[in-house]
Structure 1
Amino acid sequence: MAAVCREVICLQLGQYANSVGTHWWNLQESQRCHHLDSELCSDVQFRAGVTLSGVETYTPRLIVLDIKGSVRSLQVEGDVDEEEATPAWNGKVTTHREEPADSGGGATIQGGAPEGGGGRGMGLAGGGAIQSNRQESYQPITRDGVWSDYLHTQLHPKSLCILNNGGGTGGLESFSQGQSLLKSSASLEELEERLHFFSEECDYLQGFHLLCDTHNGFSGAGAKMAELLHDEYPGRGILGFGTSPVPPEQRDLHTSMYQLMNCVMSLVALSSHSSIFCPLTLNSSLGRRPGPPVVFPHLVYDASWQYHSSAVLAVALDTLTAPYRLTSSTLSMSHLADTLSFSGRKVLTASCSLPFPIGSASLLPDALLPHLSSPPWRCVSACVDDAPVFCQSVVLRGIPRPRQISSLLPGRRPPSSLHVCGSGEEVLQCFTSAICPQTLSISHLLGAPCRLGPTFPQFFSHYITKDGWTAEEPLPEPTAVGGVPVMAALRSSSSLRLSLRALCDEVSKMDVRRWANFSTAGIEEAELEEAINDLRSLAECYRLDESGDSDDSD
């Protein structure tokens, strides 16, 4: 009997969240195009439709909120070529048209690693190209580009919602301003209508993905959206992901102060109304001084370029959410969230190994053996990696079944307990138990890699082969990487105690009265103080029973 498809609706709020989301949908589209969806059920996040003329469509269950200027590559007009049968919308609609296929061959996506780096660059060192799997024409990705420039997936007319806010995130800089956007009855009615359109056609709606920027005013809009979902869809899972880009080296005090306050307010609000909440950022700190960006051993990426940084986070997101999108999985979004948020620990950290280091002829036990003392992943939630964890969900993808267990000859002594496991799932479970003893670990092993697709940046080092394997020596010539093995973990980490407390201490030293816009739309000093106290209480949920991290340790 086939497993029941448990649908998920995704909401994306803000330019950076939409950059991450765009790469994420592109990755899922690539999985389908390469017929690698036998493990991951694409129907969980995509919906089938038929136009009035009988043309079949397959689009994401997605609602996008952004401001004017971020969707310049998508046409927004009052009529569409064709609507789906039995349309339920009488107002203005949005058209998304793809350029016709290039019959002369594949087009290129350019824009790779920073100059002088050891990466290949999207156009390759000598001006080479990656051909689009769908033979479409793409414009080069530039630094002033926006997420719609590299969107590879067709959207439903009801997906796109553009806010009239004056042209930039500078006009939507505070949490309170974002909240105000969704306080009007007209805005709420439109959002609720779109939500009902996608939810009412679901047979079994298991929950929502909520991606929102936490560094600008969309943090307030995201908090309001989480509250709406919590009230309107009780019992459904809400997985919140707060996205924040690596800031430019030169930032004024005004901007950094607003980003700090937005982060605190959104952490409290989103963790309160979501099943779980996970920051996604390549910064090493959530505070005003973000520190150096995360370094991956075999990525040569430009962390300050949102096209690059959002691609890294999208791979992590696609891998982390795999457990309840599996074709054969009985694990639901709510079950996963309940397991990981035990004892009120609703804020989680994400970690990712991109690509997971394994040679073209290596076996999984041999690849994991060097990492028993230190996992291969890097934290992408502005926390440290080596702190004890309370529970975790680990996903490893891209290891073919014949290479998942050891092939030791009879009579040979196994190098580790990993080498005596009878299945790949046992190997991964043994590994997670070894690195985190006495910790509840949920693990999933997928054979198919993360298929990257034509719009993904080629920022890999010269040690990565076209199939994503890690070579012992640099490759003689650069090659386009089509797919990679990935390891990612969603963790309830004790490191959050120090991170959240440091955030509280930093914002407590501020005089909110100096920042007029923050209180203009309703956030008063007392409300910020309450959020700080709530965040301190949340931080204490991550105290270890026999903790060595005393009050003086931060």
Structure 2
Amino acid sequence: MSTKEILTLQFGHYSNFVGTHWWNLQDLSFQYNSSIPSEINHDVLYREGRTNKGEVTFTPRLLLVDLKGSLGSLSEECDLYEPKIDPSKAQINWHNNQVQVQQVGPSHSKNQFQQDLNDPNKCVLEQSYDFEKTTKVWSDFLYSRFHPRTIETIKEYQYCNENTPFDAFPLGSALWKTSQFIDDFSDKIRSYIEECDHFQGFHFLTDCTNAFSGLSSSCLEFIRDEYDRKSVLVLPVIPSYFSDNLISNDNEKSQSLINDSVRVINLALGFNQFNTNSSLFVPLSVGCKGWRQPGPKRVFKNLEYDNKMAYHSSAILAAALDTFTLKHRLKSSAFTLSDLGADLTRSGRKAVAASINMPFPMKENSDLLECLDNYQEPLYHSITPNCDIGSRRLMQHITIRGIKEGQLKKPLDKAQKQRELPAYRANSIQEMMALYLAYTTDATANNVTVVQEALNVKSPFPQIFAKNIGKNGFISDHNRLSETRIDSIPLLAGLHSGSEIGEMLESLHTEARKIKINRFHQFAGGDIDRDDYEECLDNIFTLRENYEDSYLI
């Protein structure tokens, strides 16, 4: 069966945090010397190439955008094809007294992890690194290798520059219109697509609380014009913490309120464009609220994470993203992005919620039937802001991974009371999960995907798991030793369409309606007037009406 390729686009610093974890996870899932072939078709998201020396490379089919100074020790051209030259060691034909080397911006030295990546005598997957202290930007924990045309840096704006912040939707849309940016970026898109034999569409991972909302919206409009028949899955990501929400005086409080309002406007304008030009969009955040402020963090029973740390929160989103996209990345499946949109966006319901259960709470030496029979909590936990997923009138795709068919149920000679359960007649994990969902949800269309491969969480994935999680990712009766790293975990993730998404959109509409956009110069002077904003809010409210509970499956 032919591979249907996907091009991934990433816009913004937090989306690149999520993306870095995602590409790391995929690289860790490669099986080079295994007798059991991988279930995942990596050609969907990766491309094969060759260096100038004729060496074969396998790199993500990826374009990412970030601000000047945001790459840390990573060069814009990367070092896979040509090693980065140290200016102090470069051979120059002039006399030394005639040459002056100037450094633009602060230097960012490689941490120990990045140094060890280039050391053939060290296996970074088996080492322990203090990423919590050394991670400043996403490249600090980047394990994957990128193609030279992957990275696009915005030269006009500096990362963490408070004097010229890249903070408002019009700044991003105006940047797209510049010939230097649109020509270069659109050429890179075409180059990737022309390499594909059966190109099917795009994964769109984007910040949506700052100007990247405007930049990605403009790029999305371009893609819809140029590649109208291709599917686009948009994944707007919202950080679970903003440093300006930590207030110590009245001036900081006033500025924080202004920043919160700007973020809400960016979200509303972005969601409106995502609804217009995407096949479906899935807002992601581990913050409960997400709009004016992220709010309290989502609580996951078997995770211990710091929501103020992008390195932690983005890892959870990446784990979910890697799992709920598996269905259209499996070798055994003909399922496509187009099919996903057709299943989840009926009656104009383009906004979709996401969920995760990480790690899936099955005990060591137990089985899935015993786990589900004793389960008292919700099967999944929302990672979409202002949206608590219900259990009725849903259309949902559930993916469970990391549980082997041999862990389905007890053998007949040891089953005892299990034999009396209706679920004991299930002969596969897919059948048992479908039966469980049929019992626990009402008037719901469930689509279950089962993947045997667990999620590989070796370094550089953060060790954010509770002490009762064993090395193999299952719940143990004893706490593991602090120096014991978890290699892999079972995981459940889902995509859901139901009335709760309408409540999420209503909450955003209510919050955005309170804001007088004319009071914000970032928008009033950027081709977005009051009428444009009102139209945007009306569109969001109209989208919200598509999720009325009177809708029947």
TM-score of the pair, normalised by structure 1: 0.86
Distance 2:73 2:4 in 1: 32
CA contact (8 A) 1:141 1:150 kept: no
- Aligned pairs for 1:112-191 (under 5 A) are 130-131=126-127, 140-142=131-133, 145-168=136-159, 171-191=165-185
TM superposition shift of 1:20? 0.2
| Structure 2 match to 1:422 | 427
Indicate whether 1:504 and 2:504 are aligned.
no
Q: Does 1:281 align with 2:285?
A: yes
How is 1:387-406 mapped onto 2 (pairs within 5 angstroms)? 388-406=392-410
**Is the contact between residue 14 and residue 65 of structure 1 (CA under 8 Å) also seen in structure 2?**
yes
Deviations 1:132-157 (A, max 9, x none): 8xxxxx78453661001111111001
What is the rounded CA distance, in whole Å, between the counterparts of 2:500 and 2:349 in structure 1? 12
Q: Which residue of 2 aligns with 1:64?
A: 64
Return the offset for 1:33: 4.6
Within 5 Å, give how 1:190-339 maps onto structure 2: 190-248=184-242, 249-250=245-246, 252-339=256-343
8 A Cα contact 1:450 1:486, kept in partner? yes
Which whole-Å CA distance do the structure 2 matches of 1:308 and 1:277 have between them?
Answer: 23
Secondary structure at the aligned position of 1:395 is classed as: strand
Shift of 1:473: 3.6
1:297–1:182 CA distance, 2 compared to 1 (3 A): same
Structure 1 stretch displaced more, 314-323 or 36-45? 36-45
Instruction: Check the 8 A contact 2:239/2:294 in 1, yes or no.
Output: no
CA contact (8 A) 1:286 1:503 kept: no
Amino acid at match of 2:152: C
State the Cα distance separating 1:478 from its structure 2 match: 4.8
Q: Tell me: CA distance 1:37–1:317, structure 2 relative to 1, closer, same or farther (3 Å).
A: farther
Deviation readout 1:357-383 (Å, 9 max, x if unpaired): 011211111122233x64332100011
| Deviation, structure 1 residue 78 | 11
- Any residues of structure 2 matched to 1:441-460 within 5 Å, and which? 441-460=446-465
After superposing the two structures, state which structure 1 stretch, 483-492 or 520-529, moved more.
Answer: 520-529
SS of 2:200's partner is strand
The structural deviation recorded for 1:185 is 2.5
2:418 and 2:424 in contact (8 A); partners too? no
Q: How does 1:1-40 map to 2 (within 5 A)?
A: 3-33=1-31, 35=34, 38-40=38-40
Q: What secondary structure, in the 3-state scheme, does the structure 1 residue paired with 2:550 have?
A: coil
Q: Which amino acid aligns with 1:407?
A: P
2:98 alignment counterpart: none
Alpha-carbon displacement from aligned partner over 1:291-331 (angstroms, at most 9, x marks no partner): 21101111110011000000000000000100000011011
Asked whether the 8 Å contact 1:405–1:427 carries over to 2, the reply is: no
| Alpha-carbon distance, 1:103 to partner | 5.4
Residue pairs, 1:425-444, within 5 angstroms: 425-444=430-449
Superposed, 1:81-120 pairs within 5 Å as 81-82=81-82, 101-102=118-119, 105-107=122-124
TM-score normalised by L of structure 2: 0.86
1:175 partner letter = F
Secondary structure of the corresponding residue to residue 253 of structure 1: helix
Aligned-partner Cα distance in 2 for 1:370–1:413: 12
3-state SS in 1 of match to 2:218: helix
Task: Label 1:76 to 1:103 Cα distance change in 2 as closer, same or farther (>3 A).
Answer: closer
Sort the Cα spacing of 1:346 and 1:79 in 2 relative to 1 into closer, same or farther, 3 A: closer
Looking at structure 2, the residues matched to 278 and 78 of structure 1 have their Cα atoms a distance apart, in angstroms, of: 30
Contact 1:31 1:37 in 2 (8 A): no
1:477 Cα deviation from its structure 2 partner = 5.0
Q: Which SS does the other structure have where 1:307 is aligned?
A: helix
Q: Distance in 2 between matches of 1:415 and 1:184?
A: 68
Return the letter of the residue paired with 2:331.
T
CA distance in 2, matches of 1:470, 1:518: 51
Aligned 8 A contact 2:392 2:442 in 1: no
Paired letter, 2:384: S
Aligned match of 1:45: 45
Q: Could you list the per-position Cα deviations for residues 99-140 of structure 1 after superposition, in whole angstroms to 9, with x for gaps in the alignment?
A: 6643554458xxxxxxxxxxxxxxxxxxxxx428xxxxx784
Shift of 1:480: 0.2
* Alpha-carbon offset, residue 76 of structure 1: 3.4
SS state at 1:418 partner: helix
Letter in 1 for 2:259: T
Give the letter for the 2:3 counterpart: C
Unaligned ranges ≥5, structure 2: 84-109, 248-255
> In structure 1, what is the equivalent of residue 499 of structure 2?
494
Match of 1:461 in 2: 466
Corresponding residue for 1:354?
358
Aligned pair 1:378/2:381, yes or no?
A: yes
* Partner of residue 526 from structure 1, selected from 507, 512, 531: 531
The alignment-based identity, stated in percent, is: 31
Partner of 1:484: 489
What is aligned with 1:124? none
CA positional deviation for 1:500: 1.0
Q: In 2, distance between residues paired with 1:141 and 1:59?
A: 27
Structure 1 residues 426, 79: CA separation in 2 closer, same or farther (over 3 Å shift)? Answer: closer
Question: How far apart, CA to CA, are the structure 2 residues paired with 1:99 and 1:436?
Answer: 49
Give the Cα separation in 1 of the matches to 2:459 and 2:328.
Answer: 26
State the AA in 1 paired with 2:127: Q
Q: Which moved more, 1:231-240 or 1:465-474?
A: 465-474
User: 1:86 maps to which residue?
Assistant: none
Letter in 2 for 1:30: L
Judged with a 3 Å threshold, the aligned counterparts in structure 2 of structure 1 residues 141 and 73 are, in CA distance, closer, same or farther, namely farther
The answer to whether the 8 A contact 1:308-1:457 is kept is yes
| Cα deviation, residue 453, structure 1 | 3.0
Q: Distance in 1 between matches of 2:24 and 2:77?
A: 24
1:376-424 Cα offsets, whole Å, 9 max, x none, are 3210001112353430000000001211244344885645432221112
CA gap 1:100/1:20 in 2 versus in 1, 3 angstroms: closer
Contact persistence 2:370–2:409 (CA under 8 A): no
The amino acid across from 2:68 in the alignment is: K
Residue in 1 that maps onto 2:74:
74
> Is the CA contact (8 Å cut-off) linking 1:139 and 1:149 kept in structure 2?
no
Distance 1:370 1:271 in 2: 40
SS at 1:54's partner residue?
A: coil
Amino acid at match of 2:119: D
CA RMSD of aligned residues (A): 2.4
Q: Distance in 2 between matches of 1:222 and 1:433?
A: 38
Paired position in structure 1 for 2:104: none
What residue identity is the alignment partner of 1:375?
Answer: P
| CA 144–165 in structure 1, closer or farther in 2 if over 3 Å, else same | farther
Relative to structure 1, is the Cα distance of residues 153 and 105 closer, same or farther in structure 2, using a 3 angstrom cutoff? closer
Deviation at residue 23 of structure 1 after TM alignment: 0.1
Q: CA deviation at 1:186?
A: 2.5
